[in-house]
Structure 1
Amino acid sequence: MSIKKATLKEIIAKKKQGEMDKLQVKYYDSETLGMPIEIKKLKLKKYMSIIESLEDEESIDGMNKIIYEFCPMFKENTKEAMKEYGVDEPTNLPSAVLEDQLNEMQAICEIINSFYGLDKVDAETVKN
């Protein structure tokens, strides 16, 4: 039985594919808004930085921050939207726009986590 060795050519091809994967975009069909919400994958370093900064946050505030960072729509006309929805922080826009629908916010966060393979980890593994 022969062992296949990786070649530099194959590794470079995988790296190029990885660069393309970094530009991943997914959509969540929001029932509240009646339209899809674009979710863009950010670099792993940015994702980890956001997650680490949330350790002392309430879960709603944490979900708001994550959704705000990953969904470009919340960074367009932010000041106007903040005024319209009566929020004092841009990161509070997601829950205001989604009318505090926790199921929708949770679903968007799950899509964001899926960019980094965290959808493959079950809850029991995380607890342990």
Structure 2
Amino acid sequence: MGKKATLAEIIARKKQGEMDKMQVKYYSSEVLGMDIEIRKIPLSQYMDLIDEVEEGNSIEGMNKLIYECCPMFKENAKEAMEVYEVATPTDLPSAVLEDQLNEINGIIEVINSFYGLEKIDVDIKN
């Protein structure tokens, strides 16, 4: 029988930062020729955003999710919005990634992996 976990041990490990190492991942973007940092967001926020992705506002929902999880899109949002000619900061991910769905989907998969969901089939509705 496996070792029983106690909340006290889990809290101690969390404080040591062992579990925090899993909170940041990277996606290697071919379009940008660099790695994009992806951070885990609170589960409730993720659930709200993933609902929007699955409701058929696909690209809009995906953009919002990527925007919330990738710090780089928030760093110079105003300047980037001008350069990429987008009206809202949450439109930046697809603009910066040149509308490459494979990259957008790749980042979404990395985000999903934070929550134990390795593969979600997102149907893009016409």
- Asked if these proteins are the same fold (TM beyond 0.5), I'd say yes
TM-score, normalised by the number of residues in structure 2: 0.81
Q: Is the 8 A contact 1:26 1:38 kept in 2?
A: yes
Q: Is the 8 A contact 2:53 2:59 kept in 1?
A: no
Deviations 1:23-79 (A, max 9, x none): 610000100000000000111122122223445452111111110000000001101
Aligned to 1:46: 45
Q: CA RMSD in A?
A: 2.3
Q: Is the aligned partner of 1:13 residue 2:12?
A: no
Number of aligned residues: 118
Aligned to 2:80: 81
- Give the gaps of 5 or more residues in structure 1: 124-128
Q: Is the 8 A contact 2:109 2:120 kept in 1?
A: no
Describe the SS at the equivalent of 2:26: strand
- Give the gaps of 5 or more residues in structure 2: 122-126
Q: Matched residues in 2 for 1:4 and 1:86: separation?
A: 55
Q: Matched residues in 2 for 1:122 and 1:47: separation?
A: 14
Runs of 4+ off more than 6 Å? none
The percent identity for this pair of structures is 55
